[in-house]
Amino acid sequence: MAFPYNNIPFVSLFLVLFSAILVPLLKREGQALALVRVVQLMVAGLSALLLALLWQSGESFPFVLGHIPAPWGNELRAGPLEALLSLAFSLVMVLSMTGGAADLRTDLRPEAQGRFCLLMQLLFASLLAMVYTNDLFTAYVFIEIAAVTACIAAAAKETGRAVAAATRYLIFSCLGSGLVLLGIALLYCVTGHLLMEDLGRSIVQLAQSGQYTVPLTVSALVMTMGLAIKSAQFPFHGWLPDAHASATTAASAILSGLVLKGYLVLLLKLIVRVFGPELLVGVYMHDLLFLLGLVGMLFSSVAALRQEDVKKMIAYSSSAQISYIFLALGLGIRAGTAAACFQILAHAVTKPMIFVGAGALIRAGRGEHYWSSLRGAAWREPVGGVAFTVGGLSLCGLPLLAGFSSKYSLAVAALSAGWRTMPALFGLAVSSVLNAMYYIPAILVIWGQGAGERLSVQKGHWELNLSVVFFLGCNVLLGVLVGPILALIYQGLELL
């Protein structure tokens, strides 16, 4: 690996954190938003370059921060999968900030907009760190940064509803963080390591010798539960609907599309790189993940079906889509892990598009969040209507879109999962029907009576158009190129 390229993960983190320092120094309105979007595009470009190089070379590499070895120092690791996730997260970040810019200007005071951009950059840095980290200490530090910034972002509108929702979010997040920290402490006490490869080797030796079975089991359980709470997996999803419903559009899109995925990427690393299949099968962890995913994808969909608030319906839908990832990880086979990675990508590009479209529709409905006030809103804001419609149909499983390819890859993986095959296929079928039962009526409502009543073009309308066009492109790209993308994911998993 040539010298400049193995610095890309560190340079990406540095650019994002340095831009966060610069944001408070910008006084003119709009400068902070412009700066963070430029930096996010730069990180996307660096990630694309890194992905091309690593895909071609078929290798991964570590990067020791400060050249101090672990466990005292911090280490990053980059491979094709990390580069792909970094590229996807960067693109979704800039598209969410662009698509939600109009609401950002109306929902937040001018002096608060810069602080919101600062929070988003810190949150973005946390997501990149969770993608690239190779040690649990760095992972936990950025888990906490992500938790604090996400909670403050949820309360950025400064309404009573937003503050109450963010407080509830913070309580659940602290509980999840505490469980993760407890698991890390147990692992460090038993193995003396924080670096993931060293932890994995030590755990394999301990599992084979039969030593420390209870501490290893407890650590795997509490860390999984902690990350499940933070990623809003059923039945720990109670904080999610209010937090998303009360946040500004950009925050809702990023919280749903990216923040929840950051914790799942870390869970994926723990499963593949730290605990390993032998320990997880021995303590029935795969069965727990499978059960959480199967029950969550059904109950969360039923909850979404009952919602009259558009953002709450989308939030419950996010919990159901997160359950697909848990179900895929619970299959206990490499094809299931690859399907989970594809679902992370598919949901990351679909749900923010839906939130951006919903934000535009709510503006067209004079700020009302309820379906009764959004009849015909898509005719008054057609770009938002298209975003919501295509995103909803994607999650329902319309062919050539990302949601269909994700369900297809999960169904194919389930066919090789032994006794889990029939429950998984049943859950996928029922969940898809439930998805259609709440998204299709919603689409009919927004395109219903009300044609001909069009609002005047708002400031920042071009930003919504640009964001939706690129979101649509990403969605179709994932839907059409499922084969090459899965091949890249398999290559990344081999090097993870």
> What are the C-alpha distances in Å from 405 to residues 155, 227, 395, 409?
35, 26, 10, 6
* One-letter amino acid of 493: L
- Residue whose tokens read 């309360």: 155
pLDDT in tens, 241-280: 777 777 788 888 888 888 888 889 998 898 888 887 767 7
Q: By the 8 A CB rule, do 483 and 71 touch?
A: no
Burial label for 457, CB within 10 Å (0-12, 13-18, 19+), is exposed
Per-residue pLDDT tens digits for 333-376: 888 889 999 999 999 999 999 988 888 888 877 766 777 777 88
Q: Tell me, what amino acid is at 146? A: A
From its phi and psi, is residue 233 left (phi > 0), alpha (psi between -120 and 50) or beta?
beta
Task: Give the chain's radius of gyration (CA, Å).
Answer: 21
pLDDT of amino acid 105: 81
pLDDT band, residue 89 (cuts 50/70/90): very high
Helix locations, 398-480, DSSP H: 402-414, 421-446, 461-480
Task: Determine the Cα–Cα distance for residues 210 and 213; give it in Å rounded to an integer.
Answer: 6
* Interatomic CA distance for residues 492 and 496, integer angstroms: 6
Residue among 405, 370, 365, 368 nearest 384 (CA): 365
Distance CA 106, CA 452 (A): 25
d(CA 310, CA 249): 12
* Cβ–Cβ under 8 Å, residues 76 and 133: yes
pLDDT at 456 over 60: no
On the question of pLDDT at 452 being above 50, the answer is no
Establish whether the linkage from the previous residue to 277 is cis, with ω within 30° of 0.
Answer: no
Residue type at 486 in one-letter notation: L
User: Which has the closest alpha carbon to 327: 216, 429, 244?
Assistant: 429
Distance between CA 118 and CA 114 in Å, rounded?
6
120 close to 153: Cβ distance less than 8 angstroms: yes
pLDDT in tens, 131-171: 998 888 888 888 888 888 888 888 777 777 778 888 888 88
**How would you classify the pairing of strands 74-78 and 61-65?**
antiparallel
pTM assigned to the model? 0.90
- Judging by beta carbons within 10 Å of its beta carbon (0-12, 13-18, 19+), is residue 167 exposed, middle or buried? middle
Q: What is residue 207's predicted lDDT score, i.e. its pLDDT? A: 76
Which one-letter DSSP state was computed for residue 308? Answer: -
3-state secondary structure 52-83: HHHHHHCCCEEEEECCCCCCCCEEEEECHHHH
Read off the pLDDT of each residue in 78-102 and give the average, rounded to a whole number: 90
The pLDDT tens digits of the residues spanning 295-331 come to 888 888 888 888 887 888 888 888 888 889 999 988 8
The shares of helix, strand and coil residues in the chain, as percent rounded to the nearest 5, are: 80, 5, 20
